[in-house]
Amino acid sequence: MATILYQDQFLPRDRGRVDMEDRGYQFGDGIYEAIRVYGGRLFLLDLHMKRLERSAGELRLQLPYSIGHLTDNLQTLIEKNKIDDGLIYFQITRGAAPRKHLFPEGAESVLTGSAINLPRRSAPGEAGIKVSLIDDIRWLRCDIKTLNLLGNVLAKQEAHEQGSEEAILHRGNTVTEGSSCNVFIVKEGRLVTHPADHFILNGITRLFVLGLAKKLSIPVEERLFSTEELFSADEVFITSTGAEVTPVVRIDNQLIAGGRPGAVARRLIDAFNEEVARIRTAALS
Ligand SMILES: Cc1ncc(COP(=O)(O)O)c(C=O)c1O
């Protein structure tokens, strides 16, 4: 049976329980991170932990453990679950207290975490995916990685019911991001993606891909782009911890780049794969 993390303890999955008055359960009052694991190692760990600290700061939520201690526990969780390529999910809530909106006094933050095996490219992956364009109805602090994901959940469900893998969200004429990913377009060899402001989550994979683009001398523009630019792009792709770089080949009923992944996405995927191969080799030595 899988091992989970509850506060500082490792427990069998069926012993994981949270209080019914946990504020994560009642208000979505908490934060989370999902970190990729390659070759048993936490990928881009420091960036995830920085984002976690930022999310906690924005919500004035106390982290229950130091980042060092938390990292040790996550690494142990990987080992206990024998994860090679996988995903670690953990969340921290403001704790359990009688249901009142105000921050409770004296409640202790509650941390829970789990690990799953996630082989690379289990999704449609490199062949490209179909997405749906959906209205972005979320709140105005999408930069915080909170447990409040109802706007994202509804968008993803609507996309799924339209036969799509993912929802690309727009506010008015502006494309923001996906329901659980960031969105890039390519026009005349230049990458364009929404700037990291309050309207999107600054994805760790987004940051990593921006770094890869720099190394590959691919010009980047972090600026607003419109739904018209999305549909007329030479290429579209999404990025996330789980999906890595995944080309989009169809949006609603329109083919993108003739329905095949484009050359810029290919270069980024190759560079991504090289980085993962390097990490795996380092993990073995
Ligand atoms: C709304 C949203 N945007 C972007 C991302 C991509 O972030 P990351 O690359 O850190 O996984 C996610 C990931 O879950 C997300 O939920």
- Segment 245-259, tens digit of pLDDT: 999 999 999 999 999
For residue 283, what pLDDT is reported? 82
Q: What is the 3-state secondary structure (H, E, C) of 212-261?
A: HHHHCCCCEEECCCEHHHHHCCCEEEEEECCCEEEEEEEECCEECHHHCC
Which atom of ligand 1 has the smallest separation from the CA of 179? 1
Give the angle 79-24-195 at the CA atoms, nearest 5°: 80
Q: Taking residues 143-164, what's their average pLDDT?
A: 98
Q: Taking residues 31-46, what's their average pLDDT?
A: 97
Q: Is the pLDDT of residue 89 over 70?
A: yes
Q: For the chain, what is the radius of gyration of the CA atoms?
A: 19
For residue 137, what pLDDT is reported? 98
Residue 43 CA: distances (Å) to CA of 49, 89, 164: 11, 13, 28
CA dist 109 and 2 (Å) reads: 23
Q: Taking residues 155-162, what's their average pLDDT?
A: 98
Tell me the CA–centroid distance for residue 180 and ligand 1, in Å: 5
Q: Taking residues 132-144, what's their average pLDDT?
A: 98
Which conformational region is residue 257 in: left (phi greater than 0), alpha (psi within -120 to 50 degrees), or beta?
left
Of the residues 145, 156, 187, 214, which is catalytic? 145
In the numeric block, the tokens 């420091």 are attached to 46
Q: Which CATH class is domain 125-276?
A: alpha beta
- What pTM did the predictor assign? 0.97
Tell me the CA–centroid distance for residue 106 and ligand 1, in Å: 32
Grade residue 124 by pLDDT with cuts at 50, 70 and 90.
very low
What dihedral do alpha carbons 259, 261, 263, 264 form, nearest 10°? 120
Q: Which CATH class is domain 3-117?
A: alpha beta
For residue 49, what pLDDT is reported? 98
Q: Which of 12, 274, 249, 20 is nearest to 129 (CA)?
A: 249
Domain extents in the chain: 3-117, 125-276
* Residue burial 162-184, b: 16+ Cβ < 10 Å; e: rest: eebbbbbbbeeebbbbbbbbbbb
Grade residue 123 by pLDDT with cuts at 50, 70 and 90.
very low
Question: Mutate which of 91, 181, 209 to test ligand 1's pocket (most atoms within 8 Å of Cβ)?
Answer: 181
CB 199 within 8 A of CB 176: yes
| 145 given a catalytic annotation | yes
Interval 169-222: pLDDT, tens: 999 999 999 999 999 999 999 999 999 999 999 999 999 999 999 999 999 999
Q: Taking residues 1-24, what's their average pLDDT?
A: 96
Is the pLDDT higher at 134 or at 127?
Answer: 134
Q: Is the pLDDT of residue 46 over 60?
A: yes
* Residue burial 98-131, b: 16+ Cβ < 10 Å; e: rest: eeeeeebeebebbbbbbbeebeeeeeebbebbbb
Question: Mutate which of 32, 89, 241, 245 to test ligand 1's pocket (most atoms within 8 Å of Cβ)?
Answer: 241
Q: Taking residues 54-79, what's their average pLDDT?
A: 98
For residue 121, what pLDDT is reported? 72
Grade residue 127 by pLDDT with cuts at 50, 70 and 90.
confident
In the numeric block, the tokens 């005349």 are attached to 188
Q: Is the pLDDT of residue 35 over 60?
A: yes
Q: Is the pLDDT of residue 114 over 80?
A: yes
Residue 246 CA: distances (Å) to CA of 63, 110, 132, 228, 238: 33, 34, 15, 21, 5
